């Protein structure tokens, strides 16, 4: 770490991120933790770092596709893009501007708004053979003939779950050891999603799960309580970057 730089621990937390370049606009979640920027949405993961310097914030981020669905179009016209950003925080908001490699000369902007993560369940214990800390893509589908599902990103960190996508954010906890894990997640909206996802939109959804894990990822089976409705789910997680 060079002179004049320090990790801005006060900025650590889970954020809703809104961003754009030219006429293109996107939305995701972003977790700031110990100098790392890790987040994403239903199709792309964000992997980067941040530092506070001279009263502002410098950030470097790479976006990578994790969902092959062609209906999800890349903001920059490329599945991998790199960003160099500079900005500052004010209250619960961080505003950043900078450049993106696929569109030299165009101004990229981002606004990060802190989400309320006080409702996190107690942190679980992780033992030998437990799931690896890191940012994962998650692809979840409903069972029993119900048409629905979610894809997004999930940060697993020492028994804590933070994650989401363009409309939802996840808070939860887990325990893990010997190639297995189990836990609970609360899925909430940060942006109204009922028209986009009628199964999960418009309500807070509690999810209890259990499954298997290894060094590359995990699988799980779950029961989600969406209002008075009980929904069986299955999901696959793939490790994008260790944390």
For 19-46, what is each residue's pLDDT tens digit?
999 999 999 999 998 899 999 999 999 9
pLDDT given for residue 4 in this prediction: 33
- Evaluated on CA atoms 169, 28, 17, 219, the torsion sign reads positive
pLDDT given for residue 227 in this prediction: 77
Of the listed ranges 6-15, 33-42, 161-170, 212-221, the one predicted with least confidence: 6-15
pLDDT tens column, 85-137: 999 999 999 999 999 999 999 999 999 999 987 767 788 999 999 999 999 99
Domains delineated in the chain: 5-114 (2.40.128.380), 134-242 (2.40.128.380)
155 pLDDT higher than 90: yes
- Average pLDDT value for the chain: 90
* pTM (predicted TM-score): 0.90
- Please, which pLDDT band fits residue 195 given cuts at 50, 70 and 90? low
pLDDT given for residue 147 in this prediction: 74
Q: What residue has token string 């020492």?
A: 158
Mean pLDDT of 181-208: 84
DSSP 133: P
Give CA separation, 50 vs 25, 31, 96, in Å: 22, 11, 11
- Please, which pLDDT band fits residue 222 given cuts at 50, 70 and 90? very high
197 pLDDT higher than 70: no
Tally of CB atoms within 10 A around 23: 5
């Amino acid at each position: 770490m060079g002179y004049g730089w320090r990790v801005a621990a006060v900025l650590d937390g889970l954020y809703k991120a809104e961003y754009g370049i030219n006429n293109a606009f996107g939305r995701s979640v972003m977790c700031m933790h110990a100098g790392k920027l890790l987040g994403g949405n239903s199709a792309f993961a964000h992997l980067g770092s941040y530092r506070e310097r001279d009263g502002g914030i410098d950030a470097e981020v790479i976006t990578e596709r994790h969902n092959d669905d062609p209906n999800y179009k890349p903001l920059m016209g490329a599945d991998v893009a790199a960003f160099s950003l500079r900005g500052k925080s004010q209250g619960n908001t961080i505003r950043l501007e900078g450049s993106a490699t696929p569109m030299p000369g165009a101004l990229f902007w981002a606004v990060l708004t802190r989400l309320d993560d006080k409702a996190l369940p107690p942190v679980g214990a992780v033992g030998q053979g437990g799931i690896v800390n890191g940012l994962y893509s998650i692809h979840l589908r409903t069972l029993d003939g119900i048409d629905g599902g979610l894809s997004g990103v999930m940060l697993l960190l020492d028994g804590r779950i933070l994650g989401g996508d363009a409309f939802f954010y996840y808070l939860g906890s887990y325990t893990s050891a010997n190639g297995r894990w189990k836990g609970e997640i609360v899925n909430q909206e940060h942006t109204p999603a009922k028209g986009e996802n009628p199964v999960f939109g418009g309500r807070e959804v509690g999810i209890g799960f259990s499954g298997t894990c290894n060094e590359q990822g995990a699988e799980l089976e779950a029961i989600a309580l969406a209002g008075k409705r009980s929904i069986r789910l299955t999901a696959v997680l793939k490790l994008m970057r260790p944390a």
